[in-house]
Structure 1
Amino acid sequence: MRIGFSVPQFGPFADPDRTVAMCAALEALGCHSLWAADRLLAPLDPPDGYPGRQQMPARYGTHLDPLLALALAATATERVRLGSSTLNALWQPPLVLARALTTLDLISHGRLDVGIGLGWMREEYQAAGVPWKGRGARLEETLDVLDAVWCSDPVTHTGPLWTIPESTVLPKPLQSPRPPILLGGFTPYALERVGRRADGWLAASMPLPFLHALWAVAAEAAERAGRDPAALRRVFRVNPEVTTAEADPAETHRRGTVRQICDHLKQMCASGSDEVLVDLQLTTDSPEEFLDLAAAFTAELSQPA
């Protein structure tokens, strides 16, 4: 099992100097990866609510750009993988996105994992000037464009939304044939796309029956596409509510002592390629406590199940 943490970038952690120092400290703890998230705004009264909470965390209104935060992380570290979980890929043209991600792969010397998804907040789509309707098809063509830009020379693409005339688009990413692409989502459609097109799934900590049901969709889709389901990576995000007393065992996918939460994450990870992503930005406001908790999670997750 691999261990990852969030890139500090929200609320009190939205300070470039702090981000650099904390990323270096997280790498020194021995983790395997650092992941940046993506928010454009925090509506004061979102009509659709916020997943898992009654209100959207106010600190999401203060944020660093995810790609620039990853560039900071790249300059502060030497070893860890650097990923996005999850980059909302549809808020910019895919050719522009491909250029930014290529640059990140080069800056990080080939350490980039491209984690993308559709997002869930209509207000962000409206503010970005991107239609909410048809976003699944838009993501499919975005993936087509990324593949064309990264894996072809010269590059050409003709689709319903974008056209790229036969062109030179250089440089290419350092990773060949392209950086790994992981997709987020929790619907059957999303998991089918993971199995059919992606290198892995950006998931979340959840009760085991839900995990097994969702993953079966991806595995079956991979087999239908002639792909090996065992080759797909899985990254399980948790935004933990850490308690001093033991919590109800039914809640330990999101709430409990460090040991309880880690025990659940270990149960989710079925192979050595599975990974956990512990996002501590909603758990504490203190950089010192953030790093202390990261050390505690690293120590506990490193123990055999």
Structure 2
Amino acid sequence: MALRLGLGLPQMRQYDIGRDVPDVAHTAERIGYDSLWAFERALFPEPPSQGLYGLEGLPWPDQYRHVAEPLVTLTLAAAATERIRLGTSLIAPLHVPFQLAKSLASLDAASGGRVVAGLGTGWSLDEYAAAAVRPFVERGQVLDELIEVCRAVWGPDPVSYDGRLTKIESASVGPKPARPIPILLSANTGRARRRLVDHADGWLPVGLGAEELTAQWRQLQDLAALRRRIRPLRSVLRVNAEYQAKVYDGADRHPFQGNADQLAEDLAAHAEIGLDEIFLDLQGGLRDAEELKDAAAEVYETARAAGL
């Protein structure tokens, strides 16, 4: 079975969201991509209280100054497409659980059952200060409740739930998803891995290199066997790619940096891990939607020609 390939939608400053998101979404579906993805970046602090990913001294990319809201982005994409799946990469604790559950259900119903709910806890203290429903130290508890609320709201009526953030006595909540929405989680700690194995449908890591990802994937599979999980774990890798038209010939090239042939080589190396799907976010270094569409087509065709 061919590796499934996804594409990140245009959300940054250089794109016209209302025009370019439907255009790129339609084009990606025509090219043959299996999924479209939208990520979340709530704000760009000036100055930030911490570095990128919480690492001291690591600057935030300038393109994070302007990132369109992910569910609005996916709604635009849904209206312009017919079959392609619609994936989120959300910072879950920035959302009220009940409202997020209903928004995802509505989008799934409207799109005919195409939503994939990718959820993480984020890392930015500044974003938490501005938008989180609970403090940063409680992010895992919020994610736990959000997953439970989603399962309840997406399930049969009457819905009831009694949690810290959410109280539903007994209610009808609609629309329901067209089919069960898969929940994918990122997981970097022991507790997060247990949450994923026990309560989610799959794994949504960010590209860290094939060797590190292989080790993490084995840890998750071993934990799933230890906890007697019956359903197989799905896996979708998110890659922030740095596409360029010419070969990157520097000795310092890192994975997913370079031209279409180099990106295809990296896709092949990561496909050997046994992942179900990889989605490429190419938008950051490109000037406009025309460049994004051209790069997306070239990378897809090169990857398929290489047997992926």
Question: TM-score, length-normalised on structure 1?
Answer: 0.91
Q: Which amino acid aligns with 2:183?
A: I
Question: Is the aligned partner of 1:128 residue 2:146?
Answer: no
Q: CA deviation at 1:206?
A: 2.5
Q: Distance in 1 between matches of 2:33 and 2:66?
A: 26
* 1:225 counterpart residue number: 227
The answer as to whether partners of 2:98 and 2:166 remain within 8 angstroms in 1 is no
Aligned length, in residue pairs: 301
Gap runs ≥5 in structure 1: none
Q: Which amino acid aligns with 2:155?
A: C
Q: Which amino acid aligns with 1:77?
A: T
Question: Is the aligned partner of 1:197 residue 2:169?
Answer: no
Q: CA deviation at 1:80?
A: 0.5
Q: CA RMSD in A?
A: 2.2
Where does 1:45-64 land on structure 2 (aligned, <5 Å)? 45-51=47-53, 54-64=58-68
* 2:302 counterpart residue number: 300
Q: Distance in 1 between matches of 2:267 and 2:209?
A: 10
Q: Distance in 1 between matches of 2:228 and 2:187?
A: 22
Structure 1 residues 90 and 48: CA distance shift in structure 2, 3 A: same
Residue 289 of structure 1, aligned match among 288, 291, 300: 291
Q: Which amino acid aligns with 1:193?
A: R
* 2:44 counterpart residue number: 42
The answer as to whether partners of 1:184 and 1:201 remain within 8 angstroms in 2 is yes
The answer as to whether partners of 1:239 and 1:283 remain within 8 angstroms in 2 is no
Question: Is the aligned partner of 1:67 residue 2:68?
Answer: no
Q: CA deviation at 1:22?
A: 1.6
The answer as to whether partners of 2:248 and 2:257 remain within 8 angstroms in 1 is no
Q: Which amino acid aligns with 2:77?
A: A
Percent identity between the two aligned chains: 36
Which SS does the other structure have where 2:269 is aligned?
helix
Where does 1:108-147 land on structure 2 (aligned, <5 Å)? 108-130=111-133, 131-147=135-151
Which SS does the other structure have where 1:146 is aligned?
helix
Q: Which amino acid aligns with 1:137?
A: Q
Structure 1 residues 238 and 248: CA distance shift in structure 2, 3 A: farther
Q: Distance in 2 between matches of 1:58 and 1:240?
A: 16
The answer as to whether partners of 1:196 and 1:221 remain within 8 angstroms in 2 is no
* 2:238 counterpart residue number: 237
* Deviations 1:239-262 (CA, angstroms, capped at 9, x unpaired): 222352344687442323322222
Gap runs ≥5 in structure 2: none
Q: Distance in 1 between matches of 2:47 and 2:112?
A: 42
* Deviations 1:190-227 (CA, angstroms, capped at 9, x unpaired): 33322222111111222222112211222123223322
Question: Is the aligned partner of 1:105 residue 2:108?
Answer: yes
Structure 1 residues 188 and 300: CA distance shift in structure 2, 3 A: farther
Where does 1:244-263 land on structure 2 (aligned, <5 Å)? 244-247=246-249, 251-263=253-265
* 2:17 counterpart residue number: 15
Where does 1:69-108 land on structure 2 (aligned, <5 Å)? 69-84=73-88, 86-108=89-111
Q: Which amino acid aligns with 1:144?
A: E
Q: Which amino acid aligns with 1:241?
A: E
* Deviations 1:29-80 (CA, angstroms, capped at 9, x unpaired): 1111100111110112223211499321222222221111111000001111
The answer as to whether partners of 2:247 and 2:262 remain within 8 angstroms in 1 is no
Q: CA deviation at 1:273?
A: 6.3
Q: CA deviation at 1:185?
A: 3.6
Where does 1:269-280 land on structure 2 (aligned, <5 Å)? 269-270=271-272, 274-280=276-282
Structure 1 residues 82 and 264: CA distance shift in structure 2, 3 A: same
Which SS does the other structure have where 2:238 is aligned?
strand
Which SS does the other structure have where 2:113 is aligned?
coil
Q: CA deviation at 1:112?
A: 0.7
Question: Is the aligned partner of 1:160 residue 2:161?
Answer: no
Residue 182 of structure 1, aligned match among 181, 184, 205: 184
Deviates more, 1:102-111 or 1:207-216: 207-216
Deviates more, 1:113-122 or 1:160-169: 160-169
